[in-house]
Structure 1
Amino acid sequence: MIAGLPSGTDVWADDVRPDTGHLAPDFVLRTLDGNTVRLSEYRGKKVVLMNFWATWCPPCRLEMPTMQQIYSEYKAKGFEILAVNIEPDVQQEIRDFVKELRLTFPIALDPDMKVSRKFRVIGLPVSILIDRQGIIRTKDIGYHDWANKASRMRVESLLR
């Protein structure tokens, strides 16, 4: 318990270190297509880019096409994207967004923001790059161009 903070609250992340260099907290979320996804299932297998976003977020809309580019390029090499939407009760809007931008990566739903809180997401978008061992390697807050040379080099270095 932290002095001065109410006890018994679940608004704080379970782990005080969901940050660069630490193991990414595990979670299970339902996906837009009705399946479930567990982050730990990728451990030892894939490099994962988690992206927290919302349909109403202009920078999210701008970066999604760059995410689709890098996903298409590296998916067969062991790269996965989990786009975690934080909005409650907007599945049709999410479907329309995905269709409009022709996104093919998995869309996970976090309507109660439990996973967002685990990762201490306080703004949108937030992108977290996780290596094959499940360690958080980078955390980008705000718009990020995933199709540029520096981003590709980051992903490629983790895929080696």
Structure 2
Amino acid sequence: MKRHCLNLFLALSMTAALLTGCGSEAQNTADTDAISFEAVDMDGNTVTEEVFTQSKLTMVNVWATTCNPCLSEMPDLGKLADEYDPADFQIIGIVSDVMEGADQTSLDEVEGLISETGADYTHLLLNESLYYALLTDVSAVPTTFFIDDSGTVLRSVLGAKEKADWEELIDGLLAEQ
């Protein structure tokens, strides 16, 4: 019961905090500490920070099922995921308003949105480990983090962007790697 209450509190707190800034203007910041977490993806697989070693650069896009700017940019993110060599670049989504262990109706809604938007890349469900590793300073969605293959956050961006803007940022960060 105590764990259920904590999960409910985390979900409600994150949803309220994240949705207050849905669609805000983009901002850039960086955090140089490597992150560590364990989460579950939409297929029920355990994912840890080791996922970052699979590509030189990982784009982590934090989104919500009720955030229109989030959903609007997801088709472009799906295209970006397909266009880059996976050894160089990958995208991971974090569903900020659906907790790990959510009911099947919520999971079906997320799957439907992923399918509708063509965002066919790994999506993680929110849990305590992921929240404390990466999301404690997230104030709105979408928020996007760029993380290198050692797990260091290189940059964070608040707000949605057009595909060409993401490409420019990705190409610049890859050139620095």
Q: TM-score, normalised by structure 2?
A: 0.69
Q: Which residue, 79, 82, 90 being the options, matches 1:72?
A: 82
Is residue 66–residue 147 contact of structure 1 (8 Å, CA) maintained in 2?
Answer: no
Are the equivalent residues in 2 in contact too, given 1:52–1:86 (CA < 8 A)? yes
Correspondence 1:93 to 2:109: yes
Aligned to 1:125: 142
CA distance in 2, matches of 1:22, 1:156: 17
User: How far did residue 150 of structure 1 move?
Assistant: 1.9
The answer to whether structure 1 residue 137 and structure 2 residue 154 are counterparts is: yes
Amino acid at match of 2:91: I
Structure 1 position 150 matched with structure 2 position 160:
no
Tell me, which stretches of 5 or more residues in structure 1 are unaligned?
1-9, 12-18
CA deviations over 1:49-80 (Å, ceiling 9, x no partner) = 11111111011011112211211111434312
Contact 1:145–1:151 at 8 Å: present in 2 too?
Answer: no
**RMSD of aligned alpha carbons:** 2.5
1-side partners of 2:129 and 2:87: how far apart? 30
Q: Percent identity?
A: 23
C-alpha contact 2:53 2:149 (8 A) present in aligned 1:
yes
TM-score (norm 1): 0.76
Would you say how many aligned residue pairs link Structure 1 and Structure 2? 142
Q: Which runs of 4+ in 1 moved over 6 A?
A: none
Match of 1:116 in 2: 131
Cα distance in 2, alignment partners of residues 34 and 141 from structure 1: 28
State how far apart, in whole Å, the 2-side matches of 1:151 and 1:62 are.
Answer: 19
The one-letter code sitting in structure 1 at the alignment partner of 2:141 is L
SS at match of 1:83: strand
1:128-151 residue CA offsets vs partner (Å, 9 max, x unmatched): 001122221110011123443522
Name the structure with the higher helix share: 2
Q: Note if contact 1:71-1:105 (Cα within 8 Å) is conserved in structure 2.
A: yes
How far the C-alpha of 1:45 sits from its partner, in A, is 4.6
Segments of 5+ residues of structure 2 without an aligned counterpart are 1-9, 14-28
Over residues 72-109 of structure 1, what are the superposed CA-to-partner deviations in whole Å (9 max), with x where a residue is unaligned?
A: 11143431211000123321110000111122110110
